Structure 1
Amino acid sequence: MASKFGGLFLKILLVLCIFRLSQGREFRKMKFPNLRMASSFSAALSRGYDYIIIGGGTAGCPLAATLSQKYRVLLLERGGSPYGNANVSYLQNFHISLADISPKSPSQAFVSTDGVINARARVLGGGTCINAGFYTRASKRFVRTAGWNAELVNESYPWVEKQIVHWPELAPWQSALKDGLLEAGVSPFNGYTFDHLNGTKVGGTIFNKNGFRHTAADLLASSNPHNLRVFLHATVQRILFNTRGQRPYTVGVIFKDENGNRHRAYLGAGRRSEVILTCGAIGSPQMLILSGIGPKKDLERLQIPLVLDNWHVGQGMSDNPMNSIFIPTKKPVEQSLIQSVGITKMGSFIEASSGFGQSSDSIHCHHGIMSAEIGQLSTIPPSQRTMEAIQKYSKSKHEIPVEAFQGGFILEKIDGPLSRGHLSLVDGNVDSNPNVTFNYFSHPYDLQRCVHGIRTIERIVHTKHFAELTQDDSYSFEMLLNISVKANVNFIPKHTNDTASLEQFCRDTVITIWHYHGGCHVDKVVDRDYRVLGVSRLRVVDGSTFDTSPGTNPQATVMMLGRYMGMKILRERMGRGAWV
Structure 2
Amino acid sequence: MKFILILVLIFVAGSFAVPFTYLESVLRHVRGPKQYAISREPEVVFSEYDFVIVGAGPAGCVLANRLSEIPEWKILLLEAGRWETLLSDIPMMVSYFQFTDFNWHYLMERQEGVCEAMTDGRCHWPRGRGVGGTSIINYMIYTRGNRQDFLDLEAAGNYGWGPNETLYYYMKSERSKLAAHPYSRYHGRDGYLSVGDVPYRSKMATTFLDATAELGNKILDYNGEDQLGFSFVQSTIENGKRCSAAKAFLRPVLGRKNLHVLANTRVTKILINPRSKAVYGVEFIRKRQLTQVFTRKEVILSSGAFNSPQLLMLSGIGPKEHLEELGIPVVQDLRVGKNLQDHISFLGLTFLASNVGESLSEKILLNDPKYLIEWLRYGRGPLTLTGGVEAIGYVKTKYNNFPGNQPDIELFFLRGSLSSDGGSTYRKSFHINEETYEAVYREIDYADCFTIIPMLLHPESKGELRLKSRDPFAWPKFYGNYLTKDIDVKRMVAGIREGIRIAETKAFKIHQPRIHDKPFPKCAHLKFNSDEYWECAVRMITATLHHQVGTCKMGPKTDPEAVVDPELRVHGIDFLRVADTSIIPKSWSAHTNAPSFMIGEKAADMIKRTWSRF
With the shorter chain as reference, the TM-score category is 0.7 to 0.9
Question: Residue type of the partner of 1:276?
Answer: I
**For the residues of structure 2 that align with 1:423 and 1:303, how far apart are their CA atoms?**
17
In structure 2, which of residues 269, 284, 290 is the aligned counterpart of residue 238 of structure 1? 269
**For the residues of structure 2 that align with 1:27 and 1:413, how far apart are their CA atoms?**
41
In structure 1, which of residues 407, 411, 429 is the aligned counterpart of residue 453 of structure 2? 411
Q: CA deviation at 1:57?
A: 0.3
Alignment of 1:16-415 (within 5 A): 34=39, 36=41, 41=42, 43-46=44-47, 48-70=48-70, 71-84=73-86, 86=87, 88-98=88-98, 100=99, 104-114=101-111, 115-146=122-153, 147-148=159-160, 152-162=165-175, 163=192, 164-169=194-199, 170-185=201-216, 187-191=217-221, 193=223, 197-210=227-240, 212-218=241-247, 219-223=249-253, 225-244=256-275, 247-257=276-286, 259-268=287-296, 273-310=297-334, 312-324=335-347, 325-330=349-354, 332-333=359-360, 336-337=385-386, 338-345=389-396, 346=400, 347-355=408-416, 363=422, 365-371=424-430, 374=431, 390=433, 400-403=442-445, 405-415=447-457
Equivalent residue, structure 1, for 2:19: none
Q: TM-score, normalised by structure 2?
A: 0.76
Secondary structure at the aligned position of 1:134 is classed as: coil
Q: CA deviation at 1:191?
A: 4.4
Aligned residues: 520
Equivalent residue, structure 1, for 2:8: 12
**For the residues of structure 1 that align with 2:89 and 2:526, how far apart are their CA atoms?**
36
Question: Where does structure 2 lack aligned partners over 5 or more consecutive residues?
Answer: 15-22, 112-121, 154-158, 176-191, 361-381, 401-407, 556-561
**For the residues of structure 1 that align with 2:554 and 2:390, how far apart are their CA atoms?**
32
**For the residues of structure 1 that align with 2:548 and 2:79, how far apart are their CA atoms?**
20
Q: CA RMSD in A?
A: 3.5
**For the residues of structure 2 that align with 1:78 and 1:494, how far apart are their CA atoms?**
49
Q: CA deviation at 1:403?
A: 4.9
Q: CA deviation at 1:563?
A: 1.1
| Conserved? CA contact 2:68–2:74, under 8 Å | yes
**For the residues of structure 1 that align with 2:427 and 2:271, how far apart are their CA atoms?**
40
Per-residue displacement from partner, 1:91-127 (whole Å, max 9, x unpaired)? Answer: 12111011x1x5x334533234333221111011111
Secondary structure at the aligned position of 1:95 is classed as: helix
Per-residue displacement from partner, 1:319-353 (whole Å, max 9, x unpaired)? Answer: 11101212223463356433421211231110122
Secondary structure at the aligned position of 2:279 is classed as: strand
Per-residue displacement from partner, 1:178-218 (whole Å, max 9, x unpaired)? Answer: 22222234x122147556611222342012353x1011112
| Conserved? CA contact 1:108–1:122, under 8 Å | no
Secondary structure at the aligned position of 1:400 is classed as: helix
Alignment of 1:534-553 (within 5 A): 534-553=572-591
The 1:26–1:405 alpha-carbon spacing in structure 2 relative to 1, beyond 3 Å, is: farther
Q: CA deviation at 1:51?
A: 0.8
Equivalent residue, structure 2, for 1:381: none
Secondary structure at the aligned position of 2:242 is classed as: coil
**For the residues of structure 1 that align with 2:435 and 2:291, how far apart are their CA atoms?**
42
The 1:358–1:439 alpha-carbon spacing in structure 2 relative to 1, beyond 3 Å, is: closer
Q: TM-score, normalised by structure 1?
A: 0.81
Secondary structure at the aligned position of 2:105 is classed as: strand
Equivalent residue, structure 2, for 1:425: 467
**For the residues of structure 2 that align with 1:506 and 1:568, how far apart are their CA atoms?**
42
Question: Residue type of the partner of 2:292?
Answer: R
Q: CA deviation at 1:79?
A: 0.6
Equivalent residue, structure 2, for 1:5: none
In structure 2, which of residues 503, 506, 517 is the aligned counterpart of residue 464 of structure 1? 506
**For the residues of structure 1 that align with 2:525 and 2:228, how far apart are their CA atoms?**
26
Secondary structure at the aligned position of 1:547 is classed as: coil
Per-residue displacement from partner, 1:149-194 (whole Å, max 9, x unpaired)? Answer: 5555344223322132112343334323222222234x12214755
**For the residues of structure 1 that align with 2:548 and 2:270, how far apart are their CA atoms?**
24
Question: Where does structure 1 lack aligned partners over 5 or more consecutive residues?
Answer: 1-8, 379-389, 576-580
Question: Residue type of the partner of 2:322?
Answer: D
In structure 2, which of residues 513, 532, 543 is the aligned counterpart of residue 511 of structure 1? 543
The 1:424–1:452 alpha-carbon spacing in structure 2 relative to 1, beyond 3 Å, is: same
